Amino acid sequence: MARLGLSRLARLLHCSPGADGSPPQEDASPPPEYRSVDVRSDSSKKRFPSLLSRTMKSTVSRSASKRASNTTANTATTLPAEDEEERPSWLGPTAKFPDYGIALPNGDDANLRTNSDLVQATFVAAQKGDEELDQWLEKGYGIEVRDKKEWTALRWALHLGQDKAVQRLVEKGADINMATVTGETELHRAVTDGDSVLVAALLRHGADANATDKSKKTALHYAIDAWIKSKSSDQADHLSMVKLLAEKGTNLELRNRYGNTAFHDACLYGDEFYVQTPRRLEMLKTMVQAGVPVDTRDAWGATPLIRCCTMSKPDQEIIDFLLDHGADINAVDQNGASPIDKTCFQAHSTQLLRHLIARGAKPDFNKRTILATPLQYAAEFCDEDRVQFLLRHGAAVDTRTYAQGCTALHLAVKSTAEHDIRDKMELLIRRGADVNARDLVGRTPLHYAARNLGHWQQDEIVECLIGAGAQADVVDGEGKTPLSAFEGYFVRKGGIVKRLVDAGAKPVEGMELYEYIDKRREGEGDGE
């Protein structure tokens, strides 16, 4: 009896007794619970195949035929001798099933060699009824065990539409919100797959609609992600998914790890996929009707309208939709920036600025940010139309930047933009810009123009400044004049150098070759 008891205990603990009945040696096998079965057979022998890898069309093996011929279905099944040699020692010579017997969906019988077998056996038990499931769970097999696909019996029941089995498993302790290593729950997966029937079943059985993954994305974020990436022109399923989640109490303002709500994502993203404006408008309308606040805030306090105006290519139809549904056109984020402030710092057309003012925006074009005012930004990066628009609306022409003390004229002459800089300069000068204003290190706009060696209009820029009264021989805080910037370029930039010298700039070190060439040129001119 002692020997028999020790053998049974050894099988429970996944190990074998010693030949003399001594206690088993410590083993590297899993802890003594049937929540995970891991077959560790000798490397020289075959591993037992998972029942999940078998198909309905697979050939029944000779050993399976022998098991099928065993008519004692309600008793323990003894494996054939040839298979028994390959069995792990900790599994014991027999495998026990509930008294009702187990027949898996693919037609095989359960031999409990792998996690996959346990998962399917648990699923079948849940299908049969409460009594059978209780009987199975009493044997110690964990209800949360996963197969090689990371599926539990609950997930099989959900995806096969076995509602009663789902209910039984949940009542017996199966976690309907159990997540993968990335934090995805069954609800997240079902939403991604667009399976509204499964989503409804999950929510009916208690799935948490506000559960988040490791990226802090909720099921609603997953629904928007799936909509963004969908190639189908018919988005009825995606719209109904959003409605369903909203109806079931989803928090519509939860933010992901990037600080965005699902509504922000729907407003901003998808251009690189298949989201066109009409399709986006339909989704936004659905979300607003479902109760999403149109002025919901991201992690930085920005509303969707503010974020839309921040884009390099804003969609005016989306902006109008938000305004038509009550978005605050003068709302500000945590930094105090409003939609029109954000628009000022984008180099696109000035048309949107005009449109926002027409819709009620209250501009302050002298508001200073840590980088620049709207006019300073426009002087460096935008065209003449933007500069003129801002000046007409009261922008101060000589406001200076915090970092370097530059005026709009400093920034205009150092611009690398391809559009016409001279027109902007002349406009600023006509409006009173000081051509000899100094930055924090004493440089004037002419110093900046001399350093802008690569611009196609450099000669015109220098000509414009000198013509407006810029001092050609002014010295900055480092003791350098504008002419010093041409060191190494005196010959190549000879025309500009000559213009500066003619305007009163004193020659600097390194100009010998230029002077020699200039004298030769003058001599040749006199000879003629």
pLDDT tens for residues 409-427? 999 999 998 888 999 999 9
Residues 167 and 244 both lie in one domain = no
Does residue 220 lie in a domain region?
Answer: yes
Residue 77: strand pairing partners: 95
Does residue 152 lie in a domain region?
Answer: yes
Question: Looking at per-residue confidence, does 396 or 61 come out higher?
Answer: 396
Question: Looking at per-residue confidence, does 246 or 81 come out higher?
Answer: 246
Residue 228 vs residues 99, 222, 258, 276: alpha-carbon distances, Å: 51, 10, 17, 10
**Domain of 339?**
294-354
Residues 238 and 305 both lie in one domain = no
Residues 183 and 282 both lie in one domain = yes
Question: Looking at per-residue confidence, does 204 or 1 come out higher?
Answer: 204
Residues 181 and 168 both lie in one domain = no
Per DSSP (E only), the strands in 294-339 are none
Residue 112's pLDDT band (cuts 50, 70, 90): low
Percent of the chain residues past pLDDT 90, beyond the cut: 48
Strongest mean pLDDT among 32-36, 242-246, 270-274, 506-510 = 242-246
Rounded to 5 degrees, what angle do the CA atoms 102, 12, 38 make?
70
In angstroms, the first-to-last Cα distance of the chain is 130
What is the spatial distance between Cα 212 and Cα 208, in angstroms, rounded to a whole number? 9
The reported pLDDT for the residue numbered 522 is 60
Residues 255 and 309 both lie in one domain = no
pLDDT reading at 25 higher than 50: no
Residue 224's pLDDT band (cuts 50, 70, 90): very high
Last residue of a domain, one of 303, 324, 354: 354
Residues 303 and 235 both lie in one domain = no
Averaged over 88-105, what is the pLDDT?
Answer: 38
Residue 349: CATH number of its domain = 1.25.40.20
Does residue 375 lie in a domain region?
Answer: no
Residues 200 and 231 both lie in one domain = yes
The reported pLDDT for the residue numbered 136 is 73
Residues 190 and 163 both lie in one domain = no
Does residue 27 lie in a domain region?
Answer: no
Does residue 35 lie in a domain region?
Answer: no
Tell the residue number behind the tokens 């074998």, with chain if given.
Answer: 16
Residues 195 and 167 both lie in one domain = no
Cβ atoms within 10 A of the Cβ of 179, count? 16
Question: How many structural domains are present in the chain?
Answer: 3
Residues 164 and 186 both lie in one domain = no
Residues 184 and 279 both lie in one domain = yes
User: Tens digit of pLDDT for each residue in 238-288?
Assistant: 999 999 999 988 999 999 999 999 999 999 998 777 788 999 999 999 999
Does residue 154 lie in a domain region?
Answer: yes
Rounded to 5 degrees, what angle do the CA atoms 327, 311, 335 make?
65
Last residue of a domain, one of 252, 287, 322: 287
Residue 488's pLDDT band (cuts 50, 70, 90): confident
Does residue 153 lie in a domain region?
Answer: yes
How is residue 57 written in tokens?
């069309």
Residues 208 and 305 both lie in one domain = no
Last residue of a domain, one of 119, 141, 172: 172
- Measured in residues, the chain has a length of 528
Contact status, residue 434 vs residue 409, Cβ threshold 8 Å:
yes
pLDDT reading at 452 higher than 50: yes
Does residue 159 lie in a domain region?
Answer: yes
